[in-house]
A = this chain, B = another copy of it.
């Protein structure tokens, strides 16, 4: 019988029909007034998304390329940096920083937890020469939200420090306004809440960060922010851009801005809360102590391998993500980012109940669904 596979993975995420339509078009040339107009519109819409009139550039790369650009352009060899390392992507910040010979103060945090404010203050008082604080606003591997505002305050009070935020799974989920929060560099990627295929990364940088550009002594070519920023202000790119992704981004940004950023964040908050309350009601335990609204990580019940449960879910029609590295087989993750509404949450919770039932977990069907319904009705 027909089973429609539904993606509930934290990237890639389902594409809206408007985006699919924009992708499935004949190509246009990038050195044309037509493309320049679209490119300029996209930049303006990205500025609206981040409530800034500041610097935003795009690279043809996955989000990791954007992360690498943040290190290559705004730091120099030997710079001391603090890494909030609370998961696979915190680890990635550390790897990139070490690749380019930055001195890393590695604040390792148990997976599923967020940072301790006191500990951060201790670290910066011990190392007042810290030139950058690196963090994930939403650490996808552990579905954990890290408060970036506090780090913005800490960074501001240091002599010459910038806050570098991986917003790959937070932009488009939360209201992320770097100038209000004190974020100096913000990276995001196309295949998350921007609802596109992978292949495009977006980088915002503050005026304070901009001053670093001419000072950085790390060599770069493809990911040269100065070169791109100059070109992109003129509506062009240094190298051939991911034309069809940028055209599709114009469509997805229309969807986002038409919904409104407050509504967008509220929708994600409700979807995530409904999911969390439902899985707790079912009797399962959340992975994160500081859960993100991008995705919800859940421990598989005792005696049930999370990957077996995921296979059952897939048979029913839901693709959810597993755990990475040390969490493999222990947890599963349900994404909320992007083109989802409340009914999608109901559907995946019902599916989860059925999968648990099939795999032999003692469950009262409909209990989680009812809880999700209640949360949705109360909040909307």
Contacts and interface: CB of A to CB of B under 8 A. Distances in A.
Contact of A222 (B20, B25, B64, B198): B64
A242 interface: yes
A216 interface: no
A29 B319 contact: yes
A62 B99 contact: no
Contacts of A14: 26-27
Contacts of A9: 29
Contact of A7 (B11, B29, B189, B245): B29
A183 B128 CA distance: 51
Given A60-B199, A198-B241, A222-B68, A24 B20 contact: yes
A89 to B, nearest CB: 11
A373 interface: no
A243 interface: yes
Given A61-B222, A99-B221, A197 B26 contact: no
Given A99-B221, A221-B68, A23 B26 contact: no
A219 B220 CA distance: 10
A198 B29 contact: no
Nearest to A322: B31
A256 to B, nearest CB: 17
A101 B198 contact: no
A295 to B, nearest CB: 14
Interface string A186-199: 00010100000111
Given A197-B243, A240-B191, A95 B27 contact: no
Contact of A15 (B7, B26, B219): B26
Interface string A27-63: 1111010000000000000000000000000001111
B29 A25 contact: no
A100 interface: yes
A65 interface: yes
Contacts of A65: 60-61, 222, 239
Nearest to A219: B99
A240 B63 contact: yes
B99 A220 contact: yes
A70 to B, nearest CB: 11
A301 interface: no
A20 B25 CA distance: 6
A267 to B, nearest CB: 21
A68 B7 CA distance: 34
A101 B219 contact: yes
Interface of A: 7, 9, 11-15, 20-21, 23-30, 32, 60-65, 68, 95-96, 99-101, 189, 191, 197-200, 219-223, 239-245, 319
21 contacts: A7-B27, A12-B29, A12-B30, A14-B26, A14-B27, A15-B26, A20-B25, A24-B24, A29-B319, A61-B222, A63-B239, A63-B240, A65-B222, A65-B239, A100-B219, A197-B242, A197-B245, A199-B199, A199-B242, A199-B245, A242-B242
